[in-house]
Amino acid sequence: MTEKQIKQIESQLPQGEKIDRMYSAFEGGIRVITKNADGCEIRYNVSFDADDNASIKRF
């Protein structure tokens, strides 16, 4: 992913969540794991539109 796409993902996260890691999933696609202020992990699926803009949906 590009720096632009990472910034797009960060802008969609709820306040206090930070990206912990990203990986290519076995089933296809990209997953983003974040941690909130309490240290709990939240997982998101990443999708891309026709212009390669990234958006996330909670897994």
Q: How many whole angstroms separate alpha carbon 36 and alpha carbon 14?
A: 9
Query: Strand pairing partners for 47?
Result: 55
26 to 11, 12, 30: CA distances (angstroms): 26, 24, 9
The answer to whether the beta carbons of residues 45 and 57 sit under 8 Å apart is yes
Instruction: Tell me the pLDDT tens digit for each residue of 3-58.
Output: 999 999 999 999 999 999 999 999 889 999 999 999 999 999 999 999 999 999 99
* Predicted model pTM: 0.88
Q: How far apart are CA 35 and CA 22, in angstroms?
A: 12
Would you say 23 and 34 are in contact if contact means Cβ atoms under 8 Å apart?
no
